[in-house]
Structure 1
Amino acid sequence: MRKRGVKSVLDVATGTGFHSVRLLDAGFETVSADGSADMLAMAFENGMKNGDHILRVVQADWRWLNRDVHGEYDAIVCLGNSFTHLFSERDRRKALAEFYAMLKHDGILILDQRNYDAILDEGYSSKHTYYYCGEDVAVEPEYVDEGLCRMRYTFRDSSYHLNMFPLRKDYTRRLMTDVGFQRIETYGDFQHTYRAEQPDFFVHVAEKEYRMEDSEGAYGATVSTARTYYNSPDADTFYASVWGGEDIHVGVYKSDDEPIADASRRTVERMAAGLGLTKDSLVLDLGSGFGGSARYLADTFGCRVQALNLSEVENERHRELNSERKLTDRIDVVDGSFESIPFPDSSVDVVWSQDAFLHSGDRIRVLEEIRRVLKPGGQLVFTDPMAADGTSVSAIQPILDRIHLDDMGSPGFYTRELTRLGFVPHERKEATNGFEDLREQLVTHYGRVLQETERQEGEGLASKVSSDYLLQMKKGLTHWVEGGTKRQLTWGIFHFTLDEGR
Structure 2
Amino acid sequence: MRKRGVKSVLDVATGTGFHSVQLLEAGFETVSADGSAEMLAQAFSNGVKYGDHILRVVQADWRWLNRDVHGEYDAIVCLGNSFTHLFSESDRRKALAEFYAMLKHDGVLILDQRNYDTILDRGFSSKHIYYYCGEDVAVEPEYMDEGLCRMRYSFADDSVYHLNMFPLRKDYTRQLMTDVGFQRVETYGDFQHTYRDEQPDFYVHVAEKAYIMEEGEDGHSAAVSTARSYYNSSDADTFYASVWGGEDIHVGLYERADEPIVDASHRTVERMASKLSLTERSIVLDLGSGYGGSARHLAEKHGCRVLALNLSEVENERHRTLNAERGLTGAIEVVDGSFESIPYPDDSVDVVWSQDAFLHSGDRHRVLEEVARVLRPGGELIFTDPMAVDGCPTDVLRPILDRIHLDDLGSPDFYRRELARLGFTEVGEGGFEEHREQVARHYGRVLEETERQEADGLGGKVSADYLTRMKKGLRDWVHGGQEHHLTWGIFHFVR
Smaller-chain TM-score bracket? 0.5 to 0.7
Matches within 5 A, 1:324-473: 324-427=325-428, 432-473=429-470
2:215 to 206, 213, 223: 213
Tell me the alpha carbon deviations over residues 264-297 of structure 1, each in whole angstroms, 9 at most, x when there is no partner.
0000000000101010000000000000000000
- Aligned residue number for residue 494 of structure 1: 491
Which amino acid in structure 1 is aligned with residue 369 of structure 2?
Answer: E
Offset at residue 442 of structure 1 (A): 1.1
Instruction: State the alpha-carbon separation in 1 of the partners of residues 433 and 276 from structure 2.
Output: 15
Alignment match, 2:120: none
Matching residue of 1:188: none
1:398-447: CA deviation from partner (whole Å, max 9, x where unpaired)? 000111110000000000000000000012xxxx3000110101111000
Contact 1:346 1:376 in 2 (8 A): yes
Output one character per residue of 1:346-387: Cα deviation in whole Å (capped at 9) or x when no partner.
Answer: 000000000000000000000000000000000000000000
Distance in 1 of aligned mates of 2:240 and 2:214: 29
User: SS of the residue aligned with 1:352?
Assistant: strand
Paired residue type of 1:213:
E
Q: CA–CA distance in 1 between the matches of 2:238 and 2:391?
A: 36
The one-letter code matched in structure 2 to 1:485 is Q
Provide the C-alpha distance between the structure 2 equivalents of 1:318 and 1:462, rounded to a whole number of angstroms: 25
Residue deviations 1:227-261 (CA, integer Å, cap 9, x gap): 00000000000000000000100000010000000
Matched letter for residue 461 of structure 1: L
Aligned partners of 1:380, 1:239: CA distance in 2, in Å? Answer: 26
Structure 1 residues 309-353: Cα deviation after superposition (integer angstroms, max 9, x where no partner): 000000000000000000011100000000000000000000000
Answer yes or no: is the 8 Å Cα contact 1:340–1:369 preserved in 2: yes
User: Against the structure 1 CA distance between its residues 440 and 284, is the aligned structure 2 distance closer, same or farther, given a 3 Å change threshold?
Assistant: same
Is residue 292 of structure 2 the alignment partner of residue 297 of structure 1? no
Letter in 2 for 1:475: K
**AA paired with 2:407?**
D
Mapped partners of 1:234, 1:391: distance in 2: 32
Distance (Å, rounded) in 2 between the aligned partners of 1:218 and 1:336: 10
1:217 CA drift (Å): 8.4
Matches within 5 A, 1:181-200: none
Give the distance between the partners of 1:295 and 1:396, measured in 2 at CA.
Answer: 34
Per-residue Cα deviation, 1:208-234 (whole angstroms, up to 9, x for no partner): xxx9639x9820000000000000000
Q: Distance in 2 between matches of 1:245 and 1:382?
A: 20
* 5+ residue gaps, structure 2: 1-212
Question: Is 1:321 paired with 2:322?
Answer: yes
Q: In the aligned structure 2, how far is the partner of 1:331 from the partner of 1:361? A: 28
Q: Is the 8 A contact 1:217 1:341 kept in 2?
A: no
Amino acid in structure 2 at the alignment position of 1:330: A
Is residue 482 from structure 1 mapped to residue 483 from structure 2 by the alignment?
Answer: no
Q: Is the 8 A contact 1:217 1:337 kept in 2?
A: no
| One-letter amino acid of the counterpart of residue 341, structure 1 | I
- Partners in 2 of 1:324 and 1:377 — Cα distance? 34
Instruction: Render the CA deviation track for 1:472-495: whole Å, top value 9, x for unaligned.
Output: 000000000000111100000000
Cα displacement string for residues 119-170 of structure 1 (whole angstroms, at most 9, x for unaligned residues): xxxxxxxxxxxxxxxxxxxxxxxxxxxxxxxxxxxxxxxxxxxxxxxxxxxx
Distance 1:436 1:278 in 2: 23
Consecutive unaligned residues in structure 1, runs of 5 or more: 1-210
| Residue in structure 1 matched with residue 252 of structure 2 by the alignment | 251
CA contact (8 A) 1:212 1:218 kept: no
Go from structure 1 to structure 2 and tell me whether the alpha carbon gap of 1:353 and 1:217 turns closer, same or farther (over 3 Å shift).
farther
Structure 2 CA distance for aligned equivalents of residues 284 and 361 of structure 1: 21
Map 1:85-124; keep pairs closer than 5 Å.
none
Secondary structure of the 2:391 match is coil
> Percent identity at matched positions?
71
Q: Partner letter of residue 355 of structure 2? A: Q
Look up the match of 1:10.
Answer: none
1:79-90 → structure 2 map (5 Å cutoff): none
